[in-house]
Structure 1
Amino acid sequence: MSSSTDTVLSAAEREDIRTRFLAVDTSNVADVLDVMGWPDQGLAAEFMPYPATAGRLAGWAYTIRGQMTPYPLGGDADKMAACQGLSPGEVSVWSGDGDGICYFGELIAIGMKERGSTGALVDGGIRDVRWLGHHGFPVYARYRTPVQSIGRWKVNAWQVPVFLRGATVERVRIEPGDFILADEDGALAIPAAIVPKVLAESEALTATEIRIREELSNGLTLAQALERYGHV
Structure 2
Amino acid sequence: MTFTAAKKEEIRLRYLEVDSSNVADVLDNMNLLQQGLSSEFAPYPETTKRMAGWAYTIRGQMTPYPQGGDADKMAACQGISSGEISVWSGDGNGICYFGELIALGMKERGSVGALLDGGIRDVRWIGEHQFPVFACYRTPVQSIGRWKVTASQVPVYMRGHDGGNVIVRPGDFILCDDDGAIVIPVEHVETVLIESERLTVIEKNIRIDIANGLSLADALKKYGHV
Q: Please classify the TM superposition score into its range, dividing by the shorter chain length.
A: over 0.9
Which residue identity does 1:38 align to in structure 2?
A: L
Picking from 49, 52, 59, the partner of 1:58 is 52
TM-score, normalised by the number of residues in structure 1:
0.96
1:34 to 21, 24, 28: 28
Q: Specify the alignment match of 2:150 in structure 1.
A: 156
CA contact (8 A) 1:48 1:142 kept: yes
| Residue pairs, 1:6-155, within 5 angstroms | 8-155=2-149
Distance in 2 between residues matched to 1:98 and 1:169, nearest whole Å: 17
Matched-pair contact (CA < 8 Å) for 1:126–1:141: yes
How many residues end up aligned between the 2 structures? 226
What amino acid does structure 1 have at the position aligned with 2:193? L
Structure 2 unaligned segments of length 5 or more: list them: none
**Cα deviations by residue, 1:23-66 (Å, 9 ceiling, x for unpaired):** 00000000000011101100000000000011211000000000
Provide the residue aligned with 1:204 in structure 2.
198
Alpha-carbon displacement from aligned partner over 1:66-124 (angstroms, at most 9, x marks no partner) = 00010000000000000100000000000000001100200010000000000000000
Partner of 1:181: 175
Contact 1:40–1:169, Cα closer than 8 Å, also in 2 = no
TM-score between both structures, scaled by the size of structure 2 = 0.99
* One-letter amino acid of the structure 2 residue matched with residue 180 of structure 1: I
1:229 — aligned with what? Answer: 223
2 CA distance for matches of 1:54 and 1:114? Answer: 19
Amino acid at match of 1:117: S
| Partner SS, residue 225 of structure 1 | helix
For residue 11 of structure 1, report the CA deviation from its aligned partner.
0.3
Q: Following superposition, which runs of at least 4 residues in structure 1 exceed 4 angstroms of deviation?
A: none
In 2, Cα distance between equivalents of 1:96 and 1:40: 19
Contact 1:63 1:175 in 2 (8 A): yes
Deviation at 1:169, TM superposition (A): 4.9
- Aligned equivalents of 1:157 and 1:186: distance in 2? 26
2:175 alignment partner, SS class: strand
Give the alignment partner of residue 216 of structure 1, picking from 203, 210, 217. Answer: 210
Q: Compute the displacement of 1:190 (Å).
A: 0.5
